[in-house]
Chain A
């Protein structure tokens, strides 16, 4: 057998531009495998010279799937530039921003589960490529597809009510928000007349978790072991009690068996993280400085959050978390495919949180904007659907941006995804006489579990065809397969 290079391009059903290359040696073994992120945008540079208030509106265009996350992370940083720390924001503004954020996490998780991941789960990894998409899901299980669509819609409608439009809207302004939330707007989400209400969202979220648990029981062997490997986990936790926190908290990291590696004020992040650069990817590789490039990388996202938090504040999601945790005897869960399960628990959590907020009259207040003494630096860190998201801005004395640093969720997962790709490639491709399309889909699934948003990550996004090129040892193309 000759040396060859396999290219999977584009990686599909992920939100972004990715490409996998797998290098195989003469003995048919995988020498190495890489996930390349192929886009670069340069937001950090070209935002310089713009007034700081443009940041939340401009930077959210990094990503059309979770624009709200960028809008809010930037807004939290910009608050500090006008001298307002998270605790000094008005309660109404904080709650409106939180509701917006939970609506966003809810819709993004729905999108991922129903539109992107469910085909693999419903049809199995060996299903033909034409079948692996939401259209086929709709054809084979219309009820499930409808629920998925309406759940995403609920989140999108929350966003529209608060930010004016479903994608790239505006709610946050420096020191607060620019819009009140009315009783009528609230009623839309409670009375269930025009769209299924928030209680239905809670109910459906529970149904989906049950569906997932059953699926897990039936396929435990595969789900538990696929692309599994030990790693550190990073997430925000509540400042007081260590609970799962999505909007504002402390940064906590634990290793694969639960030892605490980091527990810091979020604005201290810069003293604890560095980013490495590799020539073969436009995406950087962040790690905790203290533990170095080799051991200091983290996973982020739903699975990591389940591993870093002490509990979940809402009752139904907490019950589910306990079931989830019991499966690993309360130790960190390193089973990559369990990310899907964790994501659904968060979906339930967000539905419960949305209900809590919708019933809170403070949400309807009109104390919207606070002011303080202007500063030159602001750091905003939140948990986006895909994990810890970091924005930092510096300005000159006139309010023009002089420096910007963005570490987005998927960047943290870069190392994890690359290791996942390598592990799965070795597992499924080593010494196989024939490379089949479903084998390559499995490699993609290792990436898809992270729901990577490569758009944000490269401070870009998109997609690409699957080509398998077989090259001889001189690099000459001897065979090509196209799926």
Chain B
């Protein structure tokens, strides 16, 4: 029989068995500590740090703490909540976590943790790395761009003979989780699928087993249904127009899907236009701001000089500027080109395509067309953005709830199933 000990979490008295893992002990006492690399039956790895807490005033990975008598643990202080969010944001920017086109989207633990911590945008710029997508193994594909080096697969995936399939290679920030091809070939189909499942991101995929689950059937599609996303930084804003509010919209380097989602409230649009009027917008023929607008909705990021100009014009003419959708927030799918030099993209499209004319030498370049930027920028890298609405595209309710909150100070809430990155 283990000895029961007393300790404190955020000043609250808690009890647990001596030596018990803090994450588990906290859970028993009704306190949630987010984790990612932590895996119950493995020795705590402490590699991802999203469980960061303070023990007796010292910052430490919560999953590595064993409970002892009289411990004083801090978990949900504003400082720690933000620190954990920042750590997770760093993971998002460190690799290419492009949820809209990722096979693991909806089944991804890291993505779900993003929802749980309410990440709408990252405070750090994305790195857009160009690492190997290794399709050489027999059954699996390893996409190094999505690996967070949590070490789960290394510890957990072994052949029937007890050999490891994954291992670290290189060191420091060059570290990769590499595959032992010989051992990998011995994995059964179900062992391979297990590897895909325990990977907390979309790094390990099984060939022929991707995109198998329809929307709604994926693990986290309806997680926390009935609960609302804790968005703490919604503030009351002062807007210009008192009666009918003015809204402007634009699509920069976006696909118009966010504008389409805006229309997906269907007949609701007839009610909305009683309360607001559209100014400059591709839905109207108003091409230049005629009056100051209360809110500007920006779809798409900045991929050319025109986008930058339009975005600045919106900032100048709108009280509140909202980035709508993944492209506006971090560049989105067009930003995948940030992993490739621009010259190569242009060459492929205009000179080397399968239907190019023989000996083609022209790449568009003219005074009447804007210059393409070296990379696709998120809007908050260019101007100040007041709100971010994630999704590809964001759910129609999500967009309108934010707009109504900003314009009419209606109570703002967004349910978990409506808060998505894909």
A interface with B by C-beta (< 8 Å): 9-10, 12-17, 19, 21, 34, 36-42, 44-51, 53-54, 57-58, 61-65, 67, 111, 115, 119, 129-130, 132-135, 138-139, 142, 145-146, 149-150, 152-153, 156, 163-171, 173-174, 178-179, 270, 273-282, 284, 286, 392, 398-400, 403, 405, 407, 441, 455, 459-467, 482-483
Contacts and interface: CB of A to CB of B under 8 A. Distances in A.
Contacts of B250: 462-463
15 contacts: A12-B285, A19-B369, A40-B304, A42-B337, A67-B255, A111-B260, A133-B278, A156-B264, A164-B215, A167-B260, A279-B365, A398-B135, A455-B254, A465-B280, A465-B288
Most buried by A among B208, B256, B303, B353: B256
B344 interface: yes
Contacts of A115: 263, 283
A135 B278 contact: yes
Contacts of A12: 282, 284-285, 287
A170 B273 contact: no
B208 to A, nearest CB: 8
Nearest to A57: B101
B345 A45 contact: yes
A276 B357 CA distance: 6
Interface of B: 100-101, 103, 133, 135-136, 141, 205, 207-208, 210-216, 250-261, 263-264, 266-267, 269-270, 273, 277-278, 280-289, 299-300, 303-304, 306-307, 310, 332-334, 336-337, 339-340, 342, 344-350, 353-357, 360, 362-366, 368-370, 372, 392-393, 422
A178 B214 contact: yes
A264 to B, nearest CB: 14
A222 B205 CA distance: 58
A139 B337 CA distance: 43
Contacts of B310: 464
A284 B363 CA distance: 10
B253 A21 contact: no
A441 B286 CA distance: 11
B393 A167 contact: yes
A156 B393 CA distance: 14
A277 B252 CA distance: 23
A483 B354 contact: no
B271 to A, nearest CB: 11
Contact of B364 (A34, A130, A150, A280): A280
Contacts of B208: 174
B280 to A, nearest CB: 7
Given A63-B255, A277-B350, 4 more contacts: A12-B284, A40-B304, A53-B103, A463-B281
Contacts of B348: 42, 44-45, 48
Contacts of A166: 260-261, 264
Chain B CB within 10 Å, residue with most, of A167, A178, A274, A459: A167
Contacts of A130: 284-286
A39 B253 contact: yes
Contact of A134 (B207, B283, B288, B334): B283
Contact of A278 (B100, B141, B362): B362
Nearest to B269: A149
A459 to B, nearest CB: 8
> Counting chain B CB atoms within 10 Å of each CB, which of A15, A47, A460 scores highest?
A460
B253 A462 contact: yes
Nearest to A390: B355
A12 B251 CA distance: 11
- List the 6 closest A-B pairs by CB distance, nearest first: A64-B257, A164-B215, A42-B345, A465-B288, A463-B282, A398-B135
A226 to B, nearest CB: 18
Contact of A407 (B207, B259, B355): B355
Quick one: which of A58, A64, A135, A465 has the most chain B CB within 10 A? Answer: A64
Contacts of A174: 208
Contacts of A61: 100-101, 255, 257, 332-333, 392
The residue among B211, B332, B356 with the most chain A CB atoms within 10 A of its own CB is: B211
A53 B211 contact: yes
Most buried by A among B210, B253, B364, B422: B364
A142 B287 contact: no
A44 B352 CA distance: 10
Interface centre among B260, B365, B392 (most CB of A within 10 A): B260
Contact of A58 (B263, B264, B333): B333
Nearest to B395: A165
B345 A460 contact: no
A58 B101 contact: yes
A105 to B, nearest CB: 15
A13 B270 CA distance: 19
A170 B345 contact: no
Contacts of A119: 285
Nearest to B325: A64
A146 B270 contact: yes
Given A51-B133, A64-B259, A277 B363 contact: yes
A152 B337 contact: no
Contact of A280 (B299, B336, B368): B368
B74 to A, nearest CB: 40
Contacts of A39: 253, 303-304
B355 A274 contact: yes
A289 to B, nearest CB: 9
Nearest to B420: A165
Nearest to B345: A42
A273 B356 CA distance: 9
Given A45-B345, A407-B355, A461 B286 contact: no
B343 to A, nearest CB: 10
Nearest to A459: B349
Contacts of A134: 269, 283
* Listed residue (B100, B135, B357, B369) with the most chain A CB atoms within 10 angstroms of its CB: B369
A423 B143 CA distance: 52
